[in-house]
Amino acid sequence: MLSFTVRLTFEEGTREAIAESLRQLTQASRQEPGSINYIAHFVEGETATVLIYEQYVDEAALEHHRNSPHFQRYAAGGLYKLKHKRLMEHLHAIA
């Protein structure tokens, strides 16, 4: 299983547009084969910071996600173009 977080920071005042893109991306990503969890959060106290927690059954499922039309539209073609900073943290489950 692959688990990781993606932290994105955006310009102040873009929260509603970011939220709408994340709603669309989240809904479609949760329907993908091999997707275990896909949860987007705004970070409390940081109005322009998003944290996404993702889990996939394997590398093939993650690649499927990254090549999906909804990822290309809402993430690569939208959110990533608006971001100021992106940090990805890979996680290893303890139990």
pLDDT-wise least confident of 41-45, 78-82, 87-91 = 78-82
Q: What is the pLDDT of residue 33?
A: 96
Q: What is the pLDDT of residues 22-78, one digit of tens each?
A: 999 999 999 999 999 999 999 999 989 999 999 999 999 999 999 999 999 999 999
Residue positions counted in the chain = 95
From first CA to last CA, the distance across the chain in angstroms is 12
**pLDDT value at 95 more than 90:** no
Q: Which fold has domain 2-89?
A: Alpha-Beta Plaits (3.30.70)
> What burial letters (b/e) apply to 12-42, b meaning 16+ CB within 10 Å?
eeeeeebeebbeebeebbeebebbeebebee
Q: What is the pLDDT of residue 91?
A: 97
